[in-house]
Structure 1
Amino acid sequence: MFFEPQFWRKEQQVTLSDQASVEGVRGYSRTLLEELIAERGMQDGSILRLRLVEGLPDDLQVEAGEETYALVITAEEAILYGASARALIYAAQTLRQMSGHEGIFTGRLEDAPDCAFRGYRVYLPGPDSFQDFYKMVDTIVYYKYNYISLEIGGAMEYRRHPEINAAWKEFAADTHRYSGRTGEIQHAYPWAKNSIHTDNGEGEILTQDQVRELIAYCRERGLEVYPEVPLLSHSDYICLAHPELREREEDPYPDTYCPSNPDTYRIVFDILEEVIEVFRPKIVNIGHDEYYTMCLCPRCREKKPEEVYAADIIKIHDFLAERGIRTMMWGDKLLPVVTKDRTYGGAGDDRISKKGLHIHFPPTFKCQQLLPKDILMAHWYFSFGLQYDFVYHTHGYEMIYGNMAAERVEYWRERRTFGAKGGFCSNWGSNHPEYMQRNCQYLHLIFGAFALWSKTYSNARQQEILNKTFEEAFHLHYGNLDEKPYIVVSHTTELNIPYKVFYDGIFIEDEVYHMGYYKVTYTDGTETKLEVKYGTNIASSAIFCSLGDNKEGFNPTSLDESALGEVSYSTIPFRKNGKTWYKTAFLNPYPEKTIRAVEYLPDRPEKVEILSVECS
């Protein structure tokens, strides 16, 4: 099992009967157990009853909390205890994880999370992609995440302001004409601009009822759902419909509104009211990251940037507080980050870009002392060093890590001790499994789940947990290889395509990554083809691999650059004979037949090598 329970008295292995009954409380935990019986119950299984109890046993060995759960298992019965409905879901997921890995054991298991906030931040799906969204939600619930954030922007219907949706859809159509169009817009001007989020909703507009459907699916599974409403910066969806509100007059694609214009808040508060009506949230993330365009218009130019920034946040914070809603925001503009190469975040910027453009915006870090202390800060500059955590701690803000890649967070245990409350991974692209894999989402989510849940995780265990993460991602994708008919291939290629992410308008272009096919021939003459696709089920032999028994060392920050993360979920990379190989699996369409030969049919000249082929 991937997780390591705080207390587990493990005794004898037993099996679940396909005739087992589920008793006790109703809800999603019961659904999970019923599915488990249908999927893994055995005709001669000994466990005949699964019982759900809301509450905890008296002689608990771990600290009791809202998400604490326990399992007491005998040869005939499994009793699942949970301090809450969500905790019972975790208990049921644990039984599923046991059954799907090494099996169910009699004895007693107790567990509770280390971090209170374990989240995932995503875009809305397109109208035709709800099933991908639901699969993603089921995945994060399986790994015991408890928060999910949905970015709204212009991708949800605004009944008070349909002009916002109309302008947003036109903008999205422009940026989706071809891969990379968003980058052309973002980097075409002699000023810093925000990244473009027209991947949200896949360029379409969801109705409010459709968004409610997504929210209901999440909440049924124990997730706390909250919206992200990009305001001030990343407000292109507002400014494109209302250019009279833009801060930079000459920007044809404005992304920042004027926070000194009273008409701005008529629109902002209308947007928030509609979002609140749909979500009924306890938290709203108001964005405010990457604020570059400031103090340019006649209303703002004589004001101090940090005061303009703070005044906008306070207005929105107070509007939400009046409705009993807590404000969250991205916290980069509080941080005066200085490196040997340049400045970031609240330190401002004044430099010549790689394209020869003069990039300038003033510092805002003095806003640290001006904002309400009950704001929850999302800290995504963790890679710049532990010292920046203390900006939040010393100024009295609660802090969680945003855009979290736990395998790249140094001093994890120390940071938890100093006050970090948890964190959330972020997906800035599609929820489609291929995009999630190639954007390293499964890697981040699974490793992050362990770090956020387990009190035993520290940086000393990075290599160990990384190995487990690749194995777990592979298991998530394929299950147990001996339980389904797979053709398992270990292969590699001399082709080496540099790694890149597929979001902000960058799409996976099949013609770039398609390499060829394996032609599988059976003894009766039947043939089938299996696609070989770079970055999806194969990668370069030259990529450094530190997984498994390799002793060359581990550099967590190199994972994305080395492209190993890109092929996690569909492969397990390993090193042999001076090369990196990739174990992958293809579903065998004719498991009843005997394979005579497997031949690679190339559609491009780069060589593909096969180390082994096995059938499960």
Structure 2
Amino acid sequence: MTAMRLKILILISLLCPISLFAVDYTVYPTPLDIQLTNEKFDLKGAEIVTFKGPEAAFEEIALHLSRELAARYNVPLRYRKAAEPETGFQAIILGFLSDQEVISALNEMDVKPDPRLNAAESYQLVVGSSGVIVAGSDLRGLFYGVQSLIQLIEYRGQGKDYHGQAHIKGARISDKPDKPFRGVHVYLPAREDIPFFKNFIKFLARYKLNTLIMEVGGGMRMDKHPEINIAWEHFTRSMYDMGDTYLQYDEQIPLGKDRRFQASTHPDLAGGSWLSKEEVRDIVDFARQHYLEVVPEIQGLSHAYYLALAHRDIAEPVGSTWPDSYDPSNPKTYRLLFDVMDEYLEVFQPEWVHIGHDEWRARVKSQPGNGAVFAQDVLKIYNHLKSRGIKTMMWADHLIKGHNLEGKGGDKPPEDSYVWYSYPSTEGAPEILAVEADDILMLNWSWAFVPSSISQLKDHGWKQILGNFSGHRMYEQWESVLSDQSILGAEMSTWCGANEYLYALNDHFLNMLLSQHILWSGKTPPINEVYEHLSTRMPEVRSTVSMHRLPSRDVTEGRTGYTFLTLDLPGGKNSMEQKDDSIDLTAIKPGKIKGNNFIFNIPVPENFIAGKHDSDPDGTIRVNSNAASILFLHVSSGKGEKLSLERTRYFEDKAQLIGYYRVHYKDGLAESVPIRYGQNILHLGNGYQDQIYFAQTVKLSDSGDGEPVLASIYEWVCPRPNREIESIDLIGVDSKSDIYPILLAVTIVKLPFIR
């Protein structure tokens, strides 16, 4: 290619910005049936009208819709009951599918009630230019119809009165879930994380998950047994005082007597402390207002540090510094357990209780009768709950051959290994429990490595849900696997502190969204297509759950005076041309690119800045302006290290530091912006499945083999928006994997005022 022709192509790309938008799923998870029309319902001058039904519940759903429209789109809508005088406003009707008046309203819009929607949680949604109808088979179905309606809203910015200008896309939707149980497993949050956790509940509700399993341990103030809270807090602090034991013996748990392997500790539960009953009750009530069934997990037999540490006379293994279980032969055990359980029942008022019982490590494999001991312990708890009208669910690994049923290891510490792995056999337990408690709901987390686990539980007559569910595993098989009617659904587990940072770092938001699509729709469209769509939806997810608003939203929502300003990369001594010509970046085309919430001016690849550790950071990028935030478009030169959750208690170290931006203010102060692999940057050549929460994944072009060329957009919020930024440097670090960040383009969010 001649130099002149290359210059012409570059000029064309600069003059013709590329719009980069992924496949539009419109409503997610995808409904049973959806037809989009050319009609639009203008929200200006509209009102919410409830028809016949439970007044208090209908009013709460109407107010939920009103609050969401005001918070998300600055659209204020009034609410009234259908029996009240008409106002002349166009109506968003909320009602039941069984209500004759709702049926008449549907007929007026030339729509008939869908006979397929007689199941729980179903809804029908019709949007025309003159009206909207959301009709549910029940309250939860009506609530889910409202969530789909919100996803159909298109926002056009603010009007002169600061009210939002928005309309609802025309649509006809019939929808119902494929699986009745769609849940997540979480720890009780720390006190300081309760505001985030409520936003997380909103996220779950928005995408139609319906069950929140909350592990509680010693995380709520016990009136009868405050010693449990004291022992729990001392224990969790001691775990952090140990540092990363993984570096010492390849396990992130304390070892028992004779270096005996024990159950995982969960020290992040309630932030390693406890909440008041009022705080816990408030969380439970808030979840139920968003139509989530709340299930407390009150661990029995195993993972019972919170009980055993406060009452060592019932603790097993005997002689352990940090015993993880209780003695099921000691009557005091159950007096204590049921005292604690009853305090939780009074606060949660649950329909179900999860009793744990996974990973029992307290006895050795050959100890006789452990199967019967295990089963009798379950039955004592099951009967206690049953006497109070409460149903039981539990982990099923000790009932599954090929997982923990047969036990493991020897009776004495091995001479050739530092850690002594020995688990008790629970053979015989399934047969006892199947006869006396066939209505226990089994959480099967063996599905990924014991394919027969589903049929094993089914053959004993138990219903089951798939625990620790990851939708990307066995993705193409889920339509077939989940057709088994013994499987009621699944739950996605977090196994970390309940806060935005850890959920994001461990990819939980992405897994929940992908997995919920499977559970709700029963369908598995091409996974890359789903991941591509989620890359565009993730910024909206972040705006839902985060406690921090990103300034780029002010630009995209049309707030007066907020604009994007693209900066020039100067090339020179730190450019890729000078620092590293071995990486092929030709697939990244120069020119302006724009999306829903960004715009960048990408230079020729030779001018990209290489953040190698031997670079000389000398005022690389000139800014000379104040800014609300800075958007960095970047990739890393290779794949970095991203530690698993089990390998560290200090989670910042999970993501490898490969460099940092140094932001210089004109007054002499400088701020550092860390660049961490897997947290706010990914390697060139990553796919949509690798996308990360704190940096938006954006498609730049297609490579020669048809694969998308992706980069990450990280938005750093400026802590000093009223101070002028002089320049930005990219500084590399001497990382052990020898990778470095490559800066492709920079944009700032300009404020209405100038310094």
Question: 8 Å contact 1:348–1:360 — kept in the other structure?
Answer: yes
1:395 corresponds to 2:460: yes
Corresponding residue for 2:178?
114
Once residues 212 and 392 of structure 1 are traced to their aligned partners in structure 2, the CA distance between those partners, rounded to angstroms, is: 34
One-letter identity of the residue aligned with 1:17: L
2:362 is matched with which residue: 280, 289, 293?
293
1:363 is matched with which residue: 413, 425, 438?
425
Structure-to-structure mapping, 1:259-408, within 5 angstroms? 259-294=328-363, 303-337=368-402, 344-350=403-409, 355-371=417-433, 372-408=437-473
1:416 corresponds to 2:482: yes
Once residues 159 and 295 of structure 1 are traced to their aligned partners in structure 2, the CA distance between those partners, rounded to angstroms, is: 35
Question: 8 Å contact 2:642–2:656 — kept in the other structure?
Answer: no
Please give the secondary structure, in 1, of the residue aligned with 2:713.
Answer: strand
In the superposition, relative to structure 1, how do residues 512 and 38 fare at CA in structure 2: closer, same or farther (>3 Å)?
Answer: closer
Once residues 133 and 353 of structure 1 are traced to their aligned partners in structure 2, the CA distance between those partners, rounded to angstroms, is: 46
1:600 corresponds to 2:730: yes
Q: CA deviation at 1:336?
A: 1.4
Corresponding residue for 1:426?
493
Q: CA deviation at 1:137?
A: 0.9
Corresponding residue for 2:226?
162
1:572 is matched with which residue: 697, 702, 709?
697
Once residues 347 and 266 of structure 2 are traced to their aligned partners in structure 1, the CA distance between those partners, rounded to angstroms, is: 21
Structure-to-structure mapping, 1:52-67, within 5 angstroms? 52-56=94-98, 58=103, 59-61=112-114, 62-67=116-121
Once residues 724 and 31 of structure 2 are traced to their aligned partners in structure 1, the CA distance between those partners, rounded to angstroms, is: 43
Corresponding residue for 2:54?
none
Question: 8 Å contact 2:642–2:654 — kept in the other structure?
Answer: no
1:150 corresponds to 2:214: yes
Once residues 456 and 377 of structure 2 are traced to their aligned partners in structure 1, the CA distance between those partners, rounded to angstroms, is: 21
Structure-to-structure mapping, 1:61-76, within 5 angstroms? 61=114, 62-76=116-130
1:234 is matched with which residue: 300, 303, 312?
303
1:582 corresponds to 2:724: no
Q: CA deviation at 1:435?
A: 1.1
- Choose 1-10 or 248-257, whichever is displaced more: 1-10
Question: 8 Å contact 2:253–2:264 — kept in the other structure?
Answer: no
Once residues 418 and 270 of structure 1 are traced to their aligned partners in structure 2, the CA distance between those partners, rounded to angstroms, is: 38
Corresponding residue for 1:490?
633
Please give the secondary structure, in 2, of the residue aligned with 1:33.
Answer: helix
Corresponding residue for 1:545?
686
In the superposition, relative to structure 1, how do residues 88 and 593 fare at CA in structure 2: closer, same or farther (>3 Å)?
Answer: farther
Q: CA deviation at 1:289?
A: 0.2
One-letter identity of the residue aligned with 1:271: V
In the superposition, relative to structure 1, how do residues 159 and 22 fare at CA in structure 2: closer, same or farther (>3 Å)?
Answer: same
Q: CA deviation at 1:15?
A: 5.0
- Gaps spanning 5+ residues in structure 1: where? 338-343, 548-558
In the superposition, relative to structure 1, how do residues 604 and 78 fare at CA in structure 2: closer, same or farther (>3 Å)?
Answer: farther
One-letter identity of the residue aligned with 2:542: H
Once residues 743 and 416 of structure 2 are traced to their aligned partners in structure 1, the CA distance between those partners, rounded to angstroms, is: 41
Q: CA deviation at 1:469?
A: 3.0
Question: 8 Å contact 2:641–2:656 — kept in the other structure?
Answer: no
In the superposition, relative to structure 1, how do residues 34 and 279 fare at CA in structure 2: closer, same or farther (>3 Å)?
Answer: closer
Please give the secondary structure, in 2, of the residue aligned with 1:12.
Answer: strand
Q: CA deviation at 1:515?
A: 5.0
Please give the secondary structure, in 2, of the residue aligned with 1:5.
Answer: coil
Once residues 679 and 45 of structure 2 are traced to their aligned partners in structure 1, the CA distance between those partners, rounded to angstroms, is: 39
Once residues 368 and 353 of structure 1 are traced to their aligned partners in structure 2, the CA distance between those partners, rounded to angstroms, is: 34
Once residues 358 and 32 of structure 1 are traced to their aligned partners in structure 2, the CA distance between those partners, rounded to angstroms, is: 56
Q: CA deviation at 1:539?
A: 3.8
Once residues 38 and 438 of structure 1 are traced to their aligned partners in structure 2, the CA distance between those partners, rounded to angstroms, is: 27
Once residues 150 and 663 of structure 2 are traced to their aligned partners in structure 1, the CA distance between those partners, rounded to angstroms, is: 34
Q: CA deviation at 1:330?
A: 0.4
Corresponding residue for 1:340?
none
Question: 8 Å contact 1:16–1:37 — kept in the other structure?
Answer: no
Q: CA deviation at 1:587?
A: 5.9
Corresponding residue for 1:550?
none
Q: CA deviation at 1:134?
A: 0.9
1:174 is matched with which residue: 233, 238, 243?
238
In the superposition, relative to structure 1, how do residues 202 and 521 fare at CA in structure 2: closer, same or farther (>3 Å)?
Answer: closer
One-letter identity of the residue aligned with 1:483: T
Q: CA deviation at 1:89?
A: 1.7
Once residues 500 and 470 of structure 1 are traced to their aligned partners in structure 2, the CA distance between those partners, rounded to angstroms, is: 23
Once residues 429 and 38 of structure 2 are traced to their aligned partners in structure 1, the CA distance between those partners, rounded to angstroms, is: 59
Question: 8 Å contact 2:216–2:297 — kept in the other structure?
Answer: yes
Percent of aligned positions that are identical: 25
Question: 8 Å contact 2:687–2:708 — kept in the other structure?
Answer: no
One-letter identity of the residue aligned with 1:531: V
Corresponding residue for 1:26?
59
RMSD: 3.5
1:82 is matched with which residue: 105, 117, 136?
136
Please give the secondary structure, in 1, of the residue aligned with 2:222.
Answer: coil
Please give the secondary structure, in 1, of the residue aligned with 2:483.
Answer: helix
Corresponding residue for 2:73?
40
Q: CA deviation at 1:186?
A: 2.7
Q: CA deviation at 1:599?
A: 4.0
1:17 is matched with which residue: 21, 29, 43?
43
Once residues 233 and 633 of structure 2 are traced to their aligned partners in structure 1, the CA distance between those partners, rounded to angstroms, is: 44
In the superposition, relative to structure 1, how do residues 145 and 540 fare at CA in structure 2: closer, same or farther (>3 Å)?
Answer: closer
Please give the secondary structure, in 2, of the residue aligned with 1:141.
Answer: helix
One-letter identity of the residue aligned with 1:177: D
Q: CA deviation at 1:393?
A: 0.9
One-letter identity of the residue aligned with 1:317: Y
Corresponding residue for 1:51?
93
Corresponding residue for 2:264?
195
Question: 8 Å contact 1:118–1:147 — kept in the other structure?
Answer: yes
One-letter identity of the residue aligned with 1:373: D
Q: CA deviation at 1:350?
A: 2.2
- Gaps spanning 5+ residues in structure 2: where? 1-25, 51-57, 77-87, 104-111, 157-166, 545-551, 558-563, 565-597, 599-629, 750-755
Q: CA deviation at 1:142?
A: 1.0
TM-score, normalisation: structure 1: 0.85
Once residues 415 and 540 of structure 2 are traced to their aligned partners in structure 1, the CA distance between those partners, rounded to angstroms, is: 44
Q: CA deviation at 1:405?
A: 1.1
**Superimposed CA distance per residue, residues 330-349 of structure 1 (whole angstroms, 9 cap, x where no aligned partner):** 01111111xxxxxx322311
- Choose 109-118 or 568-577, whichever is displaced more: 568-577
Once residues 81 and 223 of structure 1 are traced to their aligned partners in structure 2, the CA distance between those partners, rounded to angstroms, is: 19
- Choose 311-320 or 414-423, whichever is displaced more: 414-423
Question: 8 Å contact 2:92–2:133 — kept in the other structure?
Answer: yes
Q: CA deviation at 1:122?
A: 0.8
Question: 8 Å contact 1:15–1:41 — kept in the other structure?
Answer: no
1:451 corresponds to 2:521: no
Q: CA deviation at 1:307?
A: 0.7
1:531 corresponds to 2:673: yes
Please give the secondary structure, in 1, of the residue aligned with 2:209.
Answer: coil
Please give the secondary structure, in 2, of the residue aligned with 1:406.
Answer: coil
In the superposition, relative to structure 1, how do residues 517 and 265 fare at CA in structure 2: closer, same or farther (>3 Å)?
Answer: same
1:508 corresponds to 2:550: no
In the superposition, relative to structure 1, how do residues 131 and 407 fare at CA in structure 2: closer, same or farther (>3 Å)?
Answer: same
Question: 8 Å contact 1:198–1:505 — kept in the other structure?
Answer: no
- Choose 163-172 or 578-587, whichever is displaced more: 578-587
In the superposition, relative to structure 1, how do residues 354 and 169 fare at CA in structure 2: closer, same or farther (>3 Å)?
Answer: farther
Q: CA deviation at 1:526?
A: 12
Once residues 529 and 92 of structure 2 are traced to their aligned partners in structure 1, the CA distance between those partners, rounded to angstroms, is: 34
Q: CA deviation at 1:76?
A: 2.9
- Choose 476-485 or 323-332, whichever is displaced more: 476-485
Structure-to-structure mapping, 1:96-135, within 5 angstroms? 96-99=150-153, 104-135=168-199
Q: CA deviation at 1:364?
A: 1.7
Question: 8 Å contact 1:492–1:538 — kept in the other structure?
Answer: no
Q: How many residues align?
A: 584
**Superimposed CA distance per residue, residues 104-163 of structure 1 (whole angstroms, 9 cap, x where no aligned partner):** 322421211111001111111112221111111111111111110111111111111111
**Superimposed CA distance per residue, residues 424-452 of structure 1 (whole angstroms, 9 cap, x where no aligned partner):** 11111122212111111111111111111
